[in-house]
Amino acid sequence: MTLKNNKADRKELQVTFDRSLGFFDATMIGIGAMIGAGIFVLTGIAAGVSGPASLLAFALNGLITLITAFAYAELASSIPESGGGYSYVKYAFPDVFAFVAGWWLWFAYTVACALYAAGFGAYLMEFLGCYLPGTHGLLVGLAGEQAAVVAMIILGGVTFVSLNVRGAMITGKTENVIVVAKVAVLVVFIIFGIEAIIGDVPAAKAEFKPFFPQGIGSVFIAMGLTFIAFEGYDLIATVAEEIKEPEKNIPRAIFVSVGVTVLIYLCVIFVSLGAVHPGDMPSWEFLGKYQETGIIRVAAKMMPAAGAFLIVMGGLLSTMSALNATIMASSRVAFSMARNEWLPPRLAAIHARLRTPHIAILITGVLFLIVAVCLPISLLGSAASVMFLLVFAMVNLAVVALRRKQPALKRRYTMPLYPVLPLLGFVINLLLAVFQYRFDRIPWTIVGGWTAVGLFLYIALFQHKIKARRPLVLRLEKTTPPEQRERFRVLVPLHNPATVRYLISIAAALSIPRNGEIVALTVAVVPEQLPIHEGVVLVDQRRPLIREAQACALELGADLRGDLRVAHSLSHAMLDSVQDHHCNLLVMGWKGFPQQHHHIFGEITDYMLRHCPCDVAVIKADSADTISRILLATSGGPHATLGAAFARDIAGHYGASVDACVVVPEKADRAGQEAALERISKSLKTLDPQVKIGRYIVKSGSIAAGIAKASQEFELVVVGAAAGRPFVKMVAGDIPERVARSCPGPVMVVRRWPGPATGLFRKLFG
C-alpha cells in the first residue's frame, strides 16, 4: 500500500466572516461609494461639455446603471459570496475569465481608493485654507504645499484602513454616519436650488434652451466622462458574506442605493443649471468655465454665505465615505481571489478576534497609498473606469450563462425582460468601454498591460499551484502493476450498486473488441478533517461492488481487475487510478444534474471531463439489460467520430441497430440538408463500411430539443462533447449538457482526450 502526497497538500477549512451588516448598513455602503467626489467635481465638467443635455447624460447613465444593477441583484441573491462581480464570473465562465475579472476589479477598486484618498487630502487642505488658515499656514510652512497634501492623504488612508481592520460593523456604522451627513448636505443644496427656480421660473426655463447647444453627440461624451460617478452599488455585492440575510437584503440594498443616488444626481444637475443666472453667459457655460469648482460657485450664488462651506464639507464627507466603502470592497476581492489561490494565500487570512481579512486590507491600503502619492492617478483612474465597464459587461453576460447552464438554481430575485436586459447591459457597457479608447488610448494601454501581467501570473504561478494541490489517496489493493499502454484499458468507477451491471456491460462492449481490460474502481471517501487511515473501516462496505463487477465481467467474457482506494477526494482517486493503470478510457456513471450553482454535470463529472488524461464516456446510467436501437447524434468533429466508434461497438455487443442524425434549422434548404448529411459521413468515415448505420435529418429550432424529440424510440443516445467556439460554450452551455438534460432515457456523452499538446488554448479557455 502506498501513500500519495503529504499533509501539506490538504485543503484547509474554508474561513468565513461574521454577518454583522443589515439592510441599512448595506444600503449606506452603496450610497457612500456612489456619491463620492464625482458629483461635486463632474457636474461642472459635464455641463461644459454638453450644456443642459448633461441632464440627459446623467439620466442615461442612471438607466445603464439600473440595467446592470438588475444583473447584480439576481446574481447576488443566488451567490451571496464576497468578491461581487468576480464571484459571479467565476461560477459562469472558465477560470481564466474569473481570474481576469478579479484582477481587473482589484486594480480598479485600489485605484478608486487612491482617487478618493487624493480627493480627501485636497478637500481637507481646502477646508483648512478657508476656515483654519493658521493650521494651514503651519502645515505648509513646515512641509511645503505638496508634502502637506501628501500628509493629509496618508492620514485619511491610515484612518480608514484602521477602521476596516477593526471590523465590518465599525466600518458600517462609520459609513452610516458619514453618508447621512453628506446626503443631508446635498439635500440642503437641492432645496435652496428648487427655491431659487420657483422664484423665477421663466429665467430657469431659459437656461435649458437650447437643450443641445453642443450637439447630440456631446451627450455621449458627457456620459463617458461621468459614468465613474455611478459606480459603487456593486460594492454591496462585494461584501455579501458580511450582510445578514443576503438573498433578501442585497437586492433591496442595490436598488435603493441606485435609486437614491440617481435621484440626487439628477436633482443636483437640474438645480445647478436652472437656479443660477450669470447674465453674460448661460448657466451651463458658467459651470463649464469653473469645471470641478463649478458647483461651489453655484452654491455661493444661490445660498447664504455658508453655502460654499457646506459644499466643501460635502466634498470632504463624500471622499471619506467613498474611501471607506471602497477599501472594504477592494480588500474583499483580494481575499476572495486568495481563497481560490489566485493570489498569495496569506491574503485569505481572517483575524481570529476581529473576523476581518486584515492582511488583505493592509496590503490594499499600502498599494492605494503608493498609487495616490506616487503615480498619475488621472490616467490610472480612466483605466480603472474601463475595467469597471468590462467587468459589468461580463456580469450581465453571466446572468445569461447561468440561466442557460443552471436553470434549477434557486434565485430569490430574477431580473425582468430576460434576456433583453442582460444582453443590452452587456452591449452598452462594452460600447462605453470601447468609446473610452476613442477619447484617450493611454488608459486602454494600461488595461492591456495590467491584463497581460495578470495572465502571465495566472499561467505561470497560480494555475500551476491549484493543479499541484492533490488530496491524499491511499491504494489498498496489491495488484501487479500493468504494462504501460500495451493493452487497451477501461476504468469504471463504481458507486451505485444499481448501475454496476449496466456500466460493466458498456465497458465490456468497448474493451472486448480491442482485446482490452476493465479496471473496476471503488473509493471510500474520507472527510478532509479526518486522517486518511480513518477510511480503512469503510473498505468492507465497498468490496461488494468489486465482487459484483467481477461476476458480471466473467459472465460477459471480459477481463477485469479491481482497484480499491481510500481518499479525501473522489476525483483525485479516479485520476490516480487512470494514471496508475495507464487507462485509455474512463466510463463513469452520472446520477443527474446537481443542485449546486457552480457545477454543470456535477463536481466530480465536471472535473473529470476537464482534467482526465484519457478519453471519457459519461453515461446517464440505466438498469436496462438490453439495447436494441442506438441514436448517434452528430454534427462532426473528433468527439463525434469517437462517439460513432463507441456506438458501433455497443451495437455489436447488444445486437442493436445504429441510426445517426443531425439537427438542422426548420427552414434549412436542400443545400443545408446535404451539408448536414456530409457532416454525418465525416463522423462515420473511420468505421467499417460493412457496418450499416442509418442517416437522417431532424428539423428543429434547437439542437437539444431536436435530439430529445428524435430519441423517444431509442434505448441509448450517444453524443460527442461540444467542439464549438469557447465564447458560445461559455454563454449557452455545452450542447451535450442540454441534450442530456432534455432526453428522458440513457445518454452517453463522449469526450476525446485532446492530448498534452493543447497548451495555451486549454490554459485560456479551460
Boundary of a domain, candidates 427, 462, 497: 462
Q: Which residue has the cell 469557447?
A: 726
DSSP-derived 3-state class of residue 623: coil
Q: How many domains, the chain?
A: 3
Residue 7 in any domain: the answer is no
What pLDDT shows up at residue 403?
A: 84
Q: How far apart are CA 28 and CA 23, in angstroms?
A: 9
Decide if 286 contacts 278 (C-beta within 8 A). Answer: yes
**Confidence at residue 727, expressed as pLDDT on a 0 to 100 scale:** 40
pLDDT averaged over every residue in the chain = 77
Lowest-confidence segment of 233-247, 333-347, 419-433, 650-664 by average pLDDT:
233-247
Q: Is residue 158 part of a domain?
A: yes
**Inside any domain, residue 3:** no
Omega before residue 493 within 30° of 0, cis: no
**600 assigned to some structural domain:** no
**The three three-digit cell numbers of residue 732, written as one number:** 449557452
Of the spans 311-325, 466-480, 607-621, which averages the highest pLDDT? Answer: 607-621
681 and 736 within one domain: yes
Contacts of 577 (CB under 8 A, 6+ apart): 491, 493, 519, 521, 563, 565, 583
DSSP for 391-411?
HHHHHHHHHHHHHHH-TTS--
Task: For 387-407, write each residue's pLDDT tens digit.
Answer: 888 888 999 998 888 887 777
Quick check: is 610 in a domain?
no
Question: Looking at the structure, do residues 424 and 570 belong to the same domain, yes or no?
Answer: no
Q: pLDDT tens digits for 544-560?
A: 899 999 999 999 999 99
Residues 439 and 493 in one domain: no
H/E run at residue 634: none
Model confidence pLDDT, tens digit, residues 337-372: 887 777 887 887 777 676 677 788 888 888 888 887
pLDDT at 667 over 90: no
- The predicted pLDDT at position 722 comes to 59
> Mean pLDDT lowest for which of 419-423, 699-703, 712-716?
699-703
Q: Are 441 and 476 contained in the same domain?
A: no
Least-confidence region, from 8-12, 285-289, 439-443: 8-12
Highest mean pLDDT among 261-275, 600-614, 723-737: 261-275
* Residue 650 is assigned to a structural domain of this protein: yes
At 367, which CATH number? 1.20.1740.10
CA distance 43 to 61: 13
What value does the mean pLDDT take over residues 218-242?
Answer: 75
In the numeric block, which cell numbers belong to residue 438? Answer: 476613442
Same domain, 424 and 520: no
Grid look-up 467542439 returns 723
Mean pLDDT of 419-442: 84
**Which pLDDT score is estimated for 331?**
80
Query: In terms of domains, do 452 and 361 share one?
Result: yes
* The predicted structure's pLDDT at residue 12: 36
Instruction: Residue 499: give its domain's CATH number.
Output: 3.40.50.620
Confidence of residue 423 (pLDDT cuts 50, 70, 90): very high
Whether the pLDDT of residue 602 is over 70: the answer is no
Q: Please tell me whether residues 394 and 456 are part of one structural domain.
A: yes
How sure is the predictor about 8, in pLDDT bands with cuts at 50, 70 and 90?
Answer: very low
- The answer as to whether 608 is a domain residue is no
Looking at residue 349, what is its pLDDT? 77
Return the half-sphere exposure (C-beta side, CA atoms, 13 A cut-off) of residue 67: 23
* Helices (H), ranges, 406-522: 420-439, 442-457, 463-468, 500-511
Q: How far is the C-alpha of 583 from the C-alpha of 611, rounded, in Å?
A: 14
Query: Which three cell numbers, joined as nine digits, stand for 247?
Result: 438573498
Q: How many Å apart are CA 257 and CA 177, to the nearest integer?
A: 15
Of the three residues 542, 566, 589, the one that is the final residue of a domain is 589
Q: Assess whether pLDDT exceeds 50 at residue 766.
A: no
Residues 497 and 399 in one domain: no
For residue 575, pLDDT over 90 is answered with: no
Confidence of residue 419 (pLDDT cuts 50, 70, 90): confident
* Digit-coded pLDDT (tens) for 23-46: 887 888 788 777 766 676 677 778
Residue 658: which of 631, 624, 698 has the closest Cα?
A: 631
Residues of the domain holding 35: 23-462
Q: State the distance between the two ends of the chain, measured CA to CA, in whole angstroms.
A: 34
Mean pLDDT of 414-438: 86
Pair (166, 288) in one structural domain: yes
541 and 482 share a domain? yes
Query: Does the pLDDT of residue 1 top 50, yes or no?
Result: no
User: 277-286, long-range: CB within 8 Å, 24+ apart, which pairs?
Assistant: 277/200, 277/203, 277/207, 282/51, 282/207, 282/213, 283/47, 283/207, 284/47, 284/48, 284/51, 284/52, 284/54, 284/207, 284/213, 285/48
Domain boundary among 437, 462, 487: 462
Looking at the chain, the whole-number percentage of residues with pLDDT higher than 70 is 80
**Confidence check: pLDDT of 735 > 80:** no
Q: Can you count the helices (H) and strands (E) in the chain?
A: 30, 12
Query: Does some domain include residue 342?
Result: yes
pLDDT digit string, tens, across residues 624-659: 667 888 888 876 667 777 888 888 888 888 888 888
In 200-311 the beta strands, taken as DSSP E runs, fall at none
Confidence class for position 9, pLDDT limits 50, 70, 90 = very low
Q: Is the pLDDT score of 323 beyond 60?
A: yes
Query: Residue written as cell 430576460?
Result: 418
- Please report, for residues 45, 378, 605, the alpha-carbon distance to residue 41 in angstroms, rounded to integers and kept in the order given: 7, 13, 53
C-alpha cell belonging to residue 405:
447552464
Q: Is the pLDDT of residue 16 over 50?
A: no
Same domain, 419 and 491: no
Does residue 177 or residue 506 have the better pLDDT?
Answer: 506
Structural contact between residues 67 and 428, judged by C-beta atoms closer than 8 angstroms: yes
Give pLDDT, residue 690. Answer: 58
Same domain, 326 and 453: yes
Residue 11, class by beta-carbon neighbours within 10 Å (0-12 exposed, 13-18 middle, 19+ buried)? exposed
Residue 188 pLDDT greater than 90, yes or no = no
